[in-house]
Structure 1
Amino acid sequence: MRKLVILIACAAVFSACDDTPKKKYKPGSIGALNTVAVVMPNAMWEGAVGDKVREHFAAPLIGLTWDEPRFNLEHMPPSVFTGTTRHRRSVLYVSRDSVTGAQVQSDLYASPQMVGVVKGTSDSAIMAAIETHAGQIIDSIRTMEMEEAQERFRRSLSKETIFQDKFGVTLRLPSIYKVGKQEENFVWIDREIQKGSMNIIAYEMPGDSFDNDSTFVRDIVRMRDSIGKLYIPGPDVPGKVTYMGTEKAFAPSVFPAEVGGKPAAEVRGIWEIVNYPMAGPFLTYIINDPENNRKLVLEGFTFAPATNKRDYMFELEAILRTVRFGNSPADSAPAAK
């Protein structure tokens, strides 16, 4: 009997000393990519606060052929935000409170999930908080959505090694993409979509390219147009030469970026077929790779007439941002932000 008491006491001691945190189960999140559930009272959504949310979260994206919103917004009143509705992957929760502020919480009700919470003592205070913190919330949601898209690629990855063979890099490439063309310093892969195609091209430029900041944009256009003329022909038109160039009416937008752990320039603009009425959006990364004395150029572009192209371009960006240099496989690397 005494031995039994001692054993029970020892078990109680060891149980008390077990400080290993218990992992709480979170259901998988739901919702379409680039869609945000906006939780706020109906009157607020229909008024100035709702307008301020739309101003930031549904702002038109740069580099598309017509205006498309950054996110699709789906409004719901707080009374509806219960049960599985709380499992939405991207949420913006806006409400009146005794304090004013904003924060971003991850995996609050599901995983992966990003919940932006904005509170204020009045509508004007809430609007000021949205103005101040919208960028942080948008960046957090966008990073999560990019990682989610890249994770979905794992379901069916291509075994194609052409990027490794030609340029010494890997991409997390869905198997639906196929090699369409390859030259000594050029690779073109694509996939068919309902009304057109999604395309990725890659090539190298000398390491000392684009040294003049004052002509940077002009030099990018010249580079794209020369590559298009060499490798990307347009439809046959009697008496005319057709090829993919850069839309002359809209100068491309250029931003600093980091891709594959290396500094890069991100270029967004509109491509056109010279001497033929075809056009669409493109996204180009010019990546500095001093170890190989080169600049690696990766570009995604979409041809989808009379169709929204935001989600197509988002997929292409998600693919390009998985690039890894050397022997680090894109599939095992963390998703790029």
Structure 2
Amino acid sequence: MKKIYSLIAVTFLLFSCGGNDKFVLRGSVGKVNKVMVVTDINSWDGDIGKEIRNSFGELVVGLPQPEPTLSVSQIAPNGFGKMMKVSRNIMIIGVSDEDKFFIKNNVYAQPQTVVYVYGKDKESVIKVFQKHQKEIIDTFLDADIKMLQTQFKKTKLDDTQYKTLQKLGISLTIHKKFNTVDDTGDFLWLRQHLKSGIAKTGSNNILVYSVPLENETTVSDSIVAVRNRIGKKYIPGSDPETMHMITEEAYTPSTFDAIIDGKKAFETRGKWEVKNDFMAGPFLNYTVIDKKNNRLVVFEGFTYAPSVNKRAFLFELEAIAKSMKIQ
């Protein structure tokens, strides 16, 4: 009889897990743009750790304060226990019997990205890492973008309420912390007031608009001129007669190729300022070539957060921009 009861209990447990053999993974934890590196202390203090810190520590373009692309922390393999395994971004790196590189998702928790880098000796480990470093960085950044977009979907603004997005045929996954500043039908400005730390007087901002597509070969060269024109028309300072947003004249923005909603685009990072005033900060601009509608669709995010790091704020704006869908 006891055997029968035991069999019933086991059967119940199996079916209570959803009718399959998969375990329910714990939820992952960890700050955005942070990676836990699992390796021994000698490797971390030596050339392997130096290579990782130099690669992940490359500065984010366009920020007023120097901030690394990815922040890192180290833990030894014998300390990589149950609590540490719920970290969202993990890289396991060290010496093994052969050179290997691979990526797995949701190994110990969900969502989670685990990158494995192995070499037959320390020199080989560095070579394998160097060979795949761009892919590794992009993998962690893309995973964080998707994680944020999933979070934003849970508290998503109803974008059908904005006449500009409706007129332009655009949808975005924007979380509910943003409020409307302006929505003309041709130009949308949303603002999120920042409440944490000394950035509580600051804000994250979203702009959306379109301009005609005149010459595809000169799009990247015209981005600064377009944003300056829009700033003068729609984004005044405390004195609208003499003050408005411009691209900071002392800092040349950087422009890169990008893809948004499967369409060719340009990503521009730089600094904005208010002409004849002291307000300034970083901006992130995506100019999308929409050939179907013979136009450029522009998403811009900019941050005003004096005296605090701004990487995380701008990264949230990037996640929103990359959720864009164009009809």
Category of TM-score, reference length = shorter chain: 0.7 to 0.9
Quote how far apart the aligned CAs of 1:159 are: 2.1
SS of residue in 2 equivalent to 1:300: strand
Aligned to 2:284: 283
Q: State the partner residue of 1:294.
A: 295
- Tell me if the contact between 1:209 and 1:295 (Cα under 8 Å) persists in the aligned partners: no
- Structure 1 residue 196 corresponds to structure 2 residue 199: no
The structural deviation recorded for 1:21 is 6.8
Q: Is the 8 A contact 2:149 2:319 kept in 1?
A: yes
Match of 2:61 in 1: 62
How many Å separate the matches in 1 of 2:144 and 2:185? Answer: 35
Matches within 5 A, 1:77-226: 77-161=76-160, 162=162, 163-193=164-194, 194-209=200-215, 211-212=217-218, 216-217=220-221, 219-226=222-229
Cα separation, 2, equivalents of 1:165 and 1:96: 55
CA distance in 1, matches of 2:187, 2:153: 26
**Which residue number corresponds to residue 254 of structure 1?**
255
Amino acid at match of 2:127: A
CA drift of 1:80 comes to 1.1
TM value normalised by structure 2? 0.87
Letter in 2 for 1:236: D
Residue in 1 that maps onto 2:325? 324
**Hey, what does 2:270 align to over in structure 1?**
269
Cα drift, residue 87 of structure 1: 1.6
Question: C-alpha deviations, 1:184-242, integer Å up to 9, x for none?
Answer: 421111110013000000111102255437xx43x2111111111111112239xx711
Aligned to 1:73: 72
* Worse-superposed segment, 94-103 or 36-45: 94-103
Using the alignment, how far apart are the partners of 2:201 and 2:113 within structure 1? 33
Q: What per-residue deviation string (whole Å, max 9, x for no partner) do you get for residues 116-145 of structure 1? A: 111122222211111111111111111111
Distance 1:93 1:171 in 2: 35
Is the partner of 1:276 in helix, strand or coil?
Answer: coil
Cα distance in 2 between the residues matched to 1:164 and 1:40? 48
Separation (CA, whole Å) in 1 of partners of 2:104 and 2:277: 49
Q: Tell me, in whole angstroms, the C-alpha distance in 2 between the residues paired with 1:176 and 1:209.
A: 37
1:255 counterpart SS class: strand
Q: Which protein shows a greater Rg? A: 1
**TM-superposition CA deviations, 1:66-115 (whole Å, max 9, x none):** 21011121111111101131121100111111222322122222222111
1:229 aligns with 2:229: no
Whole-angstrom CA distance in 2 between matches of 1:140 and 1:322 = 17
CA distance 1:283–1:209, change in 2 (3 Å): farther
* 1:262 Cα deviation from its structure 2 partner: 1.6
Answer yes or no: is the 8 Å Cα contact 1:190–1:199 preserved in 2: yes
Which residue in the other structure is 1:330 paired with? Answer: none
| Aligned residue type for 1:256 | D
Note the residue ranges of structure 2 that are not aligned, 5 or more in a row.
1-18, 195-199
In 1, the alpha carbon distance for the partners of 2:316 and 2:308 equals: 15
What SS is found at the alignment partner of 2:149? helix
Distance in 2, matches of 1:209 and 1:289, equals: 12
CA–CA separation in structure 1 for the residues paired with 2:228 and 2:215: 15
- Partner of 1:306 in structure 2? 307
Q: Which ranges of structure 1 fall in alignment gaps of 5 or more residues?
A: 1-19, 327-337
Give the stretch that moved more between structures: 94-103 or 169-178.
Answer: 94-103
Amino acid of the structure 2 residue aligned with 1:206 = P
The answer on whether the counterparts of 2:285 and 2:301 sit within 8 Å (CA) in structure 1 is yes
Cα 1:105–1:184 shift into 2, 3 Å: closer
In structure 1, C-alpha distance between the alignment counterparts of 2:215 and 2:250, rounded to whole Å: 25
